[in-house]
Amino acid sequence: MAIYKPFRQVQNIKRKDYNTDLVDYVWLTNYFTPEEVQKIRAIWDDAKAIESKVNKSGSEIDREDLRRSRIMFIDGPEHEWIYSKLATACIQINTNRFKFDVTGFQTALQLASYGPDDFFEWHMDYGAGDISNRKLSITVQLSDENEYEGGDLQFMINHNAVSAPKTQGTAVIFPSYAQHRVLPVTKGNRLSIVGWIGGPPYR
């Protein structure tokens, strides 16, 4: 799949034989200000939201046993500042930590809404077909952690489920091959940004 929105900046990655800076995931607490969070939350439109699907061998299919949530896409020139701000974070973190070949946003950013009993089982964002060029995954917490219960973003690290921070405005960036899940929301609603940074196939 072609890159949806290429980066405007060029990376300057200093490579070595081994990447001693590699980490499981990175989080940037309060990366979006409260005012910016509210501006993004106002984008949500029930009329434009669709039921989420699961990517299977390059095709999107309905699998309510694996994923249940609603999503809508963030596009239009008025939202370019969101892409710009996330691009800055991804380029910096990738340069310092992951050192992947990345060129831009693989698809449009999504707003993902998880209501009661919504969830996303263990999965990777990387796979066959048009998701094989995903390198980095992004999520931004838009709901205050007191607005909902459950809904933790978790990573499988050495057979342990580790929860990412839930602080509003926090951006979490991780390799798309990392196993992760969203626990069922038991009360309230969890809203977040979801996105992927792509590049040439791994080699």
Least confident of 39-43, 49-53, 86-90, 147-151: 49-53
pLDDT over threshold 60, residue 14: yes
Q: What is the pLDDT of residue 169?
A: 98
Contacts of 121 (CB under 8 A, 6+ apart): 65, 66, 67, 181
pLDDT tier, 202 (very low <50, low <70, confident <90, very high otherwise) = confident
pLDDT over threshold 90, residue 15: no
pLDDT over threshold 90, residue 203: no
Q: What is the pLDDT of residue 130?
A: 84
Taking only the tens place, the pLDDT of each residue in 128-148 is 888 999 999 999 999 999 999
pLDDT above 70 coverage of the chain, percent: 95
Taking only the tens place, the pLDDT of each residue in 26-40 is 999 999 999 999 999
Mean pLDDT of 35-59: 86
In the chain, where the domains are located: 23-53+65-198
Of 187, 136, 191, nearest to 166 by C-alpha is 191
pLDDT over threshold 90, residue 54: no
Taking only the tens place, the pLDDT of each residue in 95-138 is 999 999 999 999 999 999 999 999 999 999 999 888 999 999 99
Q: What b/e sequence results for 158-170 when a residue is b if at least 16 CB atoms lie within 10 Å of its CB, and e otherwise? A: eeeeeebbbebbb
**CATH fold of 23-53+65-198, please?**
Jelly Rolls (2.60.120)
